[in-house]
Chains A and B, each alone.
Chain A
Amino acid sequence: MSISRRRFLGWMGAAGAGLAAGGRAHAAALPPSGGHPDALGVLFDVTRCIGCRKCEEACNRVNELPPPERPFQDLGVLQKTRRTDARTYTVVNRYEGIPGAKGPLYRKIQCNHCLEPACASACFVRAFTKNPDGAVTYDESVCVGCRYCMIACPFEIPTYEYDKALTPRVMKCTFCHPRLVQGLLPGCVEACPSEALTFGRRRDLLRIARERMAQFPGRYLDHIYGEFEMGGTAWLTISGVPFAAIGMREDLGTTPAPELTKGALGVVPVVAAMWPVLLTGIYAINRRRDRIAREEREAAVAAAVARAEAEAKKKLAEALAKAEKDKKAAIEREVKKALEEAARARGEAPAGPTPGTPGATKPA
């Protein structure tokens, strides 16, 4: 079966057209990344946050979370570093005594809504969805409660309702997805009195951040946290002090979460395809080796038996031959003896029968 050059070129052309039509979704060599182009985000400006906890209050209200132990107006709460928990989607922490900062600094924590969410990548029931608007949402109706999302999240955001016996859920900020759908702002953004939170398209926010940096030289570090961290996040942060000083990890790297597991997942089909081949091969080789060993053993036994048989036959034949010879010799001897006796008898007394000797008639 030969392929004509023209036909081959035709195929190549078709493949090229397919590639072009499919766009980046089909360019397997370069998997897509970057998320939905119009995805939304929030820019958090650390230099503007005053630690009033209004965002916490709004979050609690719009998400109908249980009331806090201490009221949101109580700023004494800020004395302790807190994290998100099953009753709190967002938290503001205070950081004091940071070199280069005039007073205390505040940092808001909530889900960063990664472009490549580790939680979604880790979830084995696809309970997490990265929506086109940028929000990473959670579907409690399928959640098994393995909590692998909490292991996976580099920002330690998802929390769990450990105190519920039968219906525990993972709890985390939804980016107020239900409100975004209605055209409303996220609760925290709406409540912020100091414009520390800026809502918009993520790509616009990146531009705004750069503009602020240019507008106020020396006020910000030249780093938009979340632009590249873990493959990029919808929530972005700019700050005048190193992010590590306000409790943000700077060692997360820029590798998106799915990339971290891609290699291991890629080995799965290799093992599934090649292990049966190798193992069955080893089995078959061993089996064949066993069979050949058995056949050789049987052949050796057969040969030994044949040799022994041949030898026995030879010996028998020899013995028979010898017996024959002995018999002949004996007969001859007897005949000779008889003749001699007859001659002697003829000499002594002519005629008369030859007396029979017993040895002559019996076999030797």
Chain B
Amino acid sequence: MGGPVHSLHEFMLRTESITYILIAAALCAFVFFWRFLSERDDDRDHLGADRPGPGEGGHGAH
């Protein structure tokens, strides 16, 4: 993606492409970071750590 940039379009092509890659990386990183963050919680069930999942209220079962 080198080379001189002569227009706003080329500039945005570069910035947006990098941004999309960053977004994808960030979204993946969020998942692992949240797991890391709540791994040692007493009621750990975040992001599928050990319980069926969140919000299993509804019909009472906890």
Contacts and interface: CB of A to CB of B under 8 A. Distances in A.
A–B proximity contact (CB within 8 A): yes
Interface of A: 23, 25, 31-37, 115-117, 120-121, 126, 130, 132, 231, 256-259, 262, 265, 268-269, 272-273, 276-277, 280, 283-284, 287, 290-291, 294
B62 interface: yes
Given A31-B11, A258-B12, A290-B57, A272 B27 contact: yes
B58 to A, nearest CB: 12
Nearest to B47: A280
Contact of A25 (B5, B16, B22, B23): B5
Contacts of B23: 268-269, 272-273
Contacts of A32: 5-8, 10-11
B7 A115 contact: yes
B13 to A, nearest CB: 8
Contacts of A259: 8
Interface of B is mostly: helix
A256 to B, nearest CB: 6
A259 B8 CA distance: 8
B4 interface: yes
17 contacts: A31-B11, A32-B6, A32-B10, A34-B7, A36-B6, A116-B8, A116-B9, A121-B9, A258-B7, A258-B8, A259-B8, A269-B19, A269-B23, A272-B23, A284-B38, A284-B46, A290-B57
Given A116-B7, A268-B19, 13 more contacts: A31-B8, A33-B8, A116-B9, A132-B6, A231-B8, A258-B8, A262-B12, A265-B16, A268-B23, A272-B26, A273-B23, A280-B30, A291-B43
Contacts of A258: 7-9, 12
B52 interface: no
Given A268-B19, A276-B30, A287 B9 contact: no
A262 B8 CA distance: 10
B55 to A, nearest CB: 9
Given A36-B6, A291-B43, A294-B62, A283 B54 contact: yes
B4 A256 contact: no
Contacts of A280: 30, 34
A130 B12 contact: no
Contacts of B7: 32-35, 115-116, 130, 258
